[in-house]
Structure 1
Amino acid sequence: MDIHTETTKITTEQDMPNEGRRNMMKMTGAGIVALGISSLASSQAFAQSSIALTDEWDKKFAKSDKVDHKKVTFKNRYGITLAADLYQPKNSTGKLPAIVVGGPFGAVKEQSSGLYAQIMAEQGFVTLAFDPSYTGESGGEPRNIASPDINTEDFSAAVDCIGMQANVDRQRIGMIGICGWGGMALNAVAVDKRVKAVVASTMYDMTRVMSKGYNDSVTLEQRTQTLEQLSQQRWQDAEKGTPVYQPSYNVLKGGEAQFMLDYHDYYMTPRGYHSRAVNSGNAWSQTTPLSFMNMPLLTYISEISPRPVLFIHGEKAHSLYMAKTAYENAAEPKELMVIPGASHVDLYDQVDVIPFEKLTSFFKQHLA
């Protein structure tokens, strides 16, 4: 795999037609949220829940013959039951290092996070890919709601769960966050000192993009208008007793920017479509952006140090600027790896593009 770190300035919109670029710059608040965006009976904390889990292998990747897999459930600090897939190297012995994986924003564990988890399990790690609260097979009502606080907590609850496994060394736990869950993972690790190393792959800072738009293009007037609309929407939701949802995601109407076409190619085709994924023709609630628009998610990113953080991003990703800012604000030890020619979505599932060799060496070094 010919991969190197690229440090030169990259123009993320250079390949976009003018119409697509204008559409991208217009997206704010409610529009941006569309992107990405067996129980453990040994412990009372992980008691059997009432959520139903599928028995079939309905992942968007083939099942590995090098890994043992089972579904598990666990509760987060708010009492919401989460569903996850636990992957373990076959015939492993002793206490192993472990990694929890989440993302992308609006995806489910049967997609990108599960792929990352299974491949890292092949490399000798116990891994856990989970559905965030209110999505996928996890609990929480109403459905398809996101929260920078609750979803950050979901990562730490996943650490709780994986650390309860008899074959996991609690002193060697790492974390991978993908796309919008990359920012969540960084936020979680800043406060959760149990995590010894973290990777943010093709990351979004969801609070930044929802409150400021792409490339921080949203004016105060535009932000105020969006907040006025969302505030009025609360009256309608309160009167009906149920939330109103946004239009179906990743349904093309023509004139979209290239990155929107890339999202469609993943979420709405056999490559990555999954009926439980928010981004696969479903939608977040109209008011989901509210909590994101008033919370800078990465305020304390420097407090991850002295634990290492690795940013992995595509050279042609429209979101690269968010990873660069996060990298600049993080403290050493840190690394930004830019994959030549790669788009944002390439790092979801293209195993010949995702630098799994780098991920393996990073975690083997820092979870030793």
Structure 2
Amino acid sequence: MTDNNKTSETVMQMPSDHPNRRSLLKMAGAGAAAFGIGAMINTAKAKPLSMTTEWDKVFPKSDKVDHEKVSFKNRYGITLVGDLYLPKDRNQGAMPALAVGGPFGAVKEQSSGLYAQTMAERGFVTLAFDPSYTGESGGEPRNVASPDINTEDFMAAVDYLGLHNTVNRERIGVIGICGWGGMALNAVAADKRVKAVVASTMYDMTRVMSKGYNDSVTLEQRTQALEQMSRQRWEDAANGTPAFQPPYNELKGGEAQFLVDYHDYYMTSRGYHPRAVNSGNAWTQTTPLSFMNMPILSYIEEISPRPVLLIHGENAHSRYFSETAYEAAAEPKELLIIPGANHTDLYDQLDVIPFDRIEAFFGDALV
């Protein structure tokens, strides 16, 4: 086990015949909107906030945990809806807890719920939640994201957990997946109540929206994207409703392999959910505006002295996000690279996600 007081870059060893799954990540909110794909006007009226009562997750329900649907408000007055998981075999005393969010464009019925349920099986009270404006959570218009408000959503989840009668509020951690990995790091840098953070297959959404993959966007391209989105605001204001990007993850042929792989997760029985932005729905066309000038990892070193665990697949096209964050973070920190794994292996592949290490990490940190 890694000592939290030491810098560590670890490679988890797996069998040589371990399958090399395809990487599937399409960054929701950046590709189409930032580079000029045409608008689609969504004139549907918003639905009132409601919470499903049936089990509609993409993963089976565990008989080792108790589950309940909950709601709470963030600092901006937006009602968030979450799934609370509690170990069935639990003591009467206050327990450690984890707030879990992500991936970007997903809902709590997908990866974050799987992480939350699995960690509840391992003795933690866990809360997977839908971010503002998405899924079952409130906020208008629908399917818009904000680096500020979505960072706040994590803090609001910590508010909820800290007031729950099963939770020891001095033993709260955070898990962020994909784009919400970056949000988690940003939230924990500011929220000193959180004792430790895990970012799995992390995406820095402000970096990729403003600079493109591998920082490839030129100043001219960035200016053109901002020009388009700025003028789109007049169109949205005139129409009284936002323009939306084309549906995500619908293939027409000729796409890059990682987009094909993304489709294989979000548009198949493996991960499809009708409320997820990435499952054939769309972000508003102006969603990237607030991300373009706001690097969310500027203060990552201020997470210290609380520990950070960054987990990424060896073959993930997004690996550079975690490597950059690891270099910028202060100790104690660990970068865990999973051999042969790609980006979305860490969404739902139980034989790839290092839950033993995550459990040990929080077991050491939330004391």
Q: 2:278 aligned with 1:279, yes or no?
A: yes
Aligned equivalent of 1:5: 10
> What is aligned with 2:66?
68
Write the deviation string for residues 162-208 of structure 1: whole angstroms up to 9, x where unpaired.
11111100010000000000000000000000000000000000000
| Contact 1:133/1:154, CA 8 A, preserved across alignment | yes
Q: CA deviation at 1:51?
A: 2.2
Count how many residue pairs are aligned between Structure 1 and Structure 2: 335
| Structure-2 residue corresponding to 1:19 | none
* Residue aligning to 2:104: 105
- How far apart in 2 are the matches of 1:140 and 1:120? 29
Shift of 1:295: 0.4
- Aligned pair in 2 of structure 1 residues 218, 141: CA closer, same or farther (>3 Å)? same
CA RMSD of aligned residues (A): 2.0
Distance 1:327 1:320 in 2: 11
Equivalence map 1:260-275=2 (5 Å): 260-275=259-274
Residues 279/225 of structure 1: CA separation in 2 closer, same or farther (3 Å cut): same
Question: Is the CA contact 1:184–1:297 (under 8 Å) kept in the aligned structure 2?
Answer: yes
* 5+ long unaligned stretches in structure 1: 8-14, 17-22, 35-49
DSSP-derived class of the 1:91 partner: coil
Q: Does 1:292 align with 2:297?
A: no
2:366 — aligned with what? 367
CA distance in 2, matches of 1:6, 1:172: 28
Deviations 1:242-289 (A, max 9, x none): 100000001112222221122111100010000000000000000000
The verdict on how the C-alpha distance between 1:52 and 1:32 changes in structure 2, with shifts beyond 3 A counting, is farther
Secondary structure of the residue that 1:195 maps to in structure 2?
Answer: coil
- How far residue 91 of structure 1 moved from its aligned partner, in angstroms, is 3.3
Q: What is residue 128 of structure 1 aligned with on the other side?
A: 127
Match of 1:241 in 2: 240
Whole-Å Cα distance in 2 between the matches of residues 33 and 320 of structure 1? Answer: 26
Question: What amino acid sits opposite 2:77 in the alignment?
Answer: G
Residue 51 of structure 2 is aligned to residue 53 of structure 1: yes
Structure 1 residue identity aligned to 2:82? A
Separation in 2 of the partners of 1:319 and 1:133? 25
- Check 1:53–1:289 CA distance in 2 against 1; reply closer, same or farther (3 A cut): same
> Aligned partner of 2:229: which letter?
L
Render the CA deviation track for 1:5-29: whole Å, top value 9, x for unaligned. 249xxxxxxx99xxxxxx99xx757
**C-alpha distance in structure 2 between counterparts of 1:172 and 1:116, whole Å:** 18
Which residue of structure 2 lines up, in the alignment, with residue 156 of structure 1? Answer: 155
**For residue 145 of structure 2, what is the aligned residue in structure 1?**
146
Structure 2 gaps, min length 5: 1-8, 13-20, 38-47
Map of 2:253 onto structure 1: 254
Tell me what 1:40 maps to: none
Work out whether residues 65 and 87 of structure 2, in 8 Å CA contact, stay in contact via their aligned partners in 1.
yes
Partner AA of 1:234 in structure 2: R
User: Per the alignment, in what secondary structure is the counterpart of residue 337 of structure 1?
Assistant: strand
Contact 1:29 1:293 in 2 (8 A): no
Q: CA deviation digits over 1:311-343, x for unaligned, max 9?
A: 000001000001100010000000000100101
Q: What secondary structure is seen at the aligned counterpart in 2 of 1:353?
A: coil
**Does residue 1:175 correspond to 2:174, yes or no?**
yes
Change (3 A) 1:332 1:302: same
Q: Which of structure 1's runs of 4+ aligned residues deviate more than 4 A?
A: 31-34
Change in Cα spacing, 1:107 to 1:153, as seen in structure 2 (3 Å) is same
Query: 2:307, 2:35 → 1: CA distance?
Result: 30
Deviations for 1:2-54, whole angstroms, at most 9, x for unmatched residues? Answer: xx9249xxxxxxx99xxxxxx99xx75725899xxxxxxxxxxxxxxx72101
Does the aligned pair in 1 maintain the 2:170–2:193 contact within 8 Å? yes
What TM-score does the superposition give when structure 1 sets the normalisation length? 0.88
Structure-2 separation of matches of 1:258 and 1:77? 40
Conserved? CA contact 1:259–1:344, under 8 Å? no
Contact 1:197 1:309 in 2 (8 A): yes
Structure 2 counterpart of 1:202, one-letter code: T
**Structure showing greater relative contact order (alpha-carbon pairs closer than 8 Å, 6 or more residues apart):** 2
Measure, in 2, the Cα distance between the counterparts of 1:362 and 1:29.
37
How far apart, in 2, do the equivalents of 1:88 and 1:31 lie?
A: 40
2:202 aligned residue: 203
CA deviation profile, 1:137-159 (whole Å, cap 9, x unmatched): 00001100100000000000000
Among 78, 81, 85, the alignment partner of 2:79 is 81
Counterpart-to-counterpart distance in 2, 1:325 and 1:109: 27
Q: What is the distance in 2 between the residues matched to 1:29 and 1:335?
A: 34
Percent identity of equivalent pairs: 75
Select the residue among 33, 36, 51 that pairs with 1:30. 33
| Whole-angstrom distance in 1 between the partners of 2:51 and 2:162 | 22
Give secondary structure in 1 for the equivalent of 2:353.
coil
SS at structure 2 position matched to 1:64 = coil
Partner Cα separation in structure 1 for residue 198 and residue 260 of structure 2: 26
**CA shift at 1:124, angstroms?**
0.2
Residue of structure 2 in register with 1:11 after alignment: none
Paired letter, 2:83 = D
Equivalent-residue separation in structure 1 for 2:353 and 2:314 (angstroms) = 12
Given that residues 33 and 284 in structure 1 are in contact (C-alpha distance below 8 angstroms), is that contact kept between their aligned partners in structure 2? no
1:29–1:226 contact (8 Å) kept in structure 2? no
